[in-house]
Amino acid sequence: MLKNDAFLKACRREPTDFTPVWIMRQAGRYMKEYQAIRKRVDFLTMCKTPELAAQATLLPIDILGVDAAILFSDILIPVEAMGMEVRFTEKRGPVFSTPIRSEAQVQGLSIPGPAESEERMPFIADAIRLILQGLDHRVPLIGFSGAPFTLATYMIEGETSKNFTWIKRMMYTDPPLLHKLLDKITGAVIHYLNMQIRAGVHAVQLFDTWAGSLSPDDYQEFALPYVERVIKGIDKKNCPVILFANGVSSILEYMGNSGADVNGLDWRIDIGVARRRVGSQVALQGNLDPCVLYAGPDEIRGHVQAILHKYGTGPGHIFNLGHGILPDTPVEHAKALVDIVHEESSSKRS
Ligand code: CP3
């Protein structure tokens, strides 16, 4: 039994005494405790050392008092397990040595099944077990994966991209090849998430960060069907699924019908409008602009009140930022956000 299950209740659109809150990238460089670990080891080593991943995961629970923990890892870990080589650089972020550009490369990728997933990424289940011990039932633990389209973006572009020219070139010149790649990634993602669920995560989030860069028609052809297959393929009996995308406004109705329990929103959409569009089908997560946290508590409070007010009464809201917290955010402002969401949402209910 969890001591604080407000996050899971909100995922299922059940009433809670306050609006639960967590922060995407909540264990990160804005915390001095995180930086102290990173001084000793590089990012990938941190992801692959269960004790360090667990330590990082628990930091925001102890320091900020958020209502959910999220596994410390990266969406590109299972891509490495499919046979691609990835490096994390200071300036350019993740970089693949040989981006996917040909049929032979797609053919060469392997799909780790249940046993291979455990074998190639033993540190994932080990970290989850350590985190669950450290949490001692205080709050639920969220597992995650990149969604197939977003993973394909990194695999084809080779690094973070602004215009997505390589993946879109493939999309328009050789769509069967892109479908073949997405199909393989989908298989790998299903096994990867099921491994996390077996190890004990309470919910999972699918990051389809770059799906908002697609036209609605292309979203329906190249992103949505694979998200739906992942959601159908995972053992979600007791495990709500959150589907996050950046730039949701043009694709929100499709996300609402995807089978996900929660839709994660970026900050460019009014959460009240989003609720009217899909809120009878799903819970909503979001959606403060991460840059608001550059301002102090008074300014943060005003923005929190506005979002709570726009969402309105009734259950099904999980407070979060509209994208990951930025590395130069003052940690006391992140802490203020969590306290303010709790205060303002409890006073709204009483
Ligand atoms: O939310 C969490 O706290 C869980 C951990 C987590 C990280 N990355 C840690 C991380 C999660 C869920 C991710 C997801 C992720 N990774 C996404 C999807 C979400 C999003 O932000 O859109 C993407 C696109 C990636 C790929 C990635 N990893 C990039 C582009 C970068 C470099 C950019 C950056 O912020 O540095 C990373 C590195 C990364 N992932 C860091 C962390 C804490 C920073 C690593 C460091 O210490 O240098």
pLDDT tens per residue across span 106-131: 999 999 999 999 999 999 999 999 99
Domain range summary for the chain, segments of one domain joined by + = 29-278
Q: What is the mean pLDDT of the chain?
A: 97
Radius of gyration for the alpha carbons in the chain, expressed in angstroms and rounded: 19
Spatial CA neighbour of 64 closest among 348, 347, 325: 325
The protein residue whose alpha carbon is closest to atom 30 in ligand 1 is 93
Kindly report the CATH class assigned to 29-278: alpha beta
pLDDT tens per residue across span 160-217: 998 999 999 999 999 999 999 999 999 999 999 999 999 999 999 999 999 999 999 9
Q: Using DSSP bridges, classify how beta strands 93-96 and 86-89 pair: parallel, antiparallel or unpaired.
A: antiparallel
Q: What percent of the chain has pLDDT above 90? A: 97
- Residue 38, ligand 1, Cβ within 6 A: yes
Confidence of residue 348 (pLDDT cuts 50, 70, 90): confident
Residue 318: partners with Cβ closer than 8 Å, 6 or more residues away: 7, 10, 11, 19, 20, 21, 22, 242, 262, 283, 284, 285, 286
**pLDDT beyond 90 at 13:** yes
Spatial CA neighbour of 211 closest among 179, 248, 182: 248
Taking residues 220-230, report their average pLDDT.
98
- Residue 207, ligand 1, Cβ within 6 A: yes
- Residue 209, ligand 1, Cβ within 6 A: yes
Contact 53, 127 (CB under 8 A): yes
Contact 91, 163 (CB under 8 A): no
pLDDT tens per residue across span 244-284: 999 999 999 999 999 999 999 999 999 999 999 999 999 99
Confidence of residue 349 (pLDDT cuts 50, 70, 90): confident
Taking residues 41-58, report their average pLDDT.
98
pLDDT tens per residue across span 56-94: 999 999 999 999 999 999 999 999 999 999 999 988 999
Q: Is 192 a catalytic residue?
A: no
**pLDDT beyond 80 at 350:** no
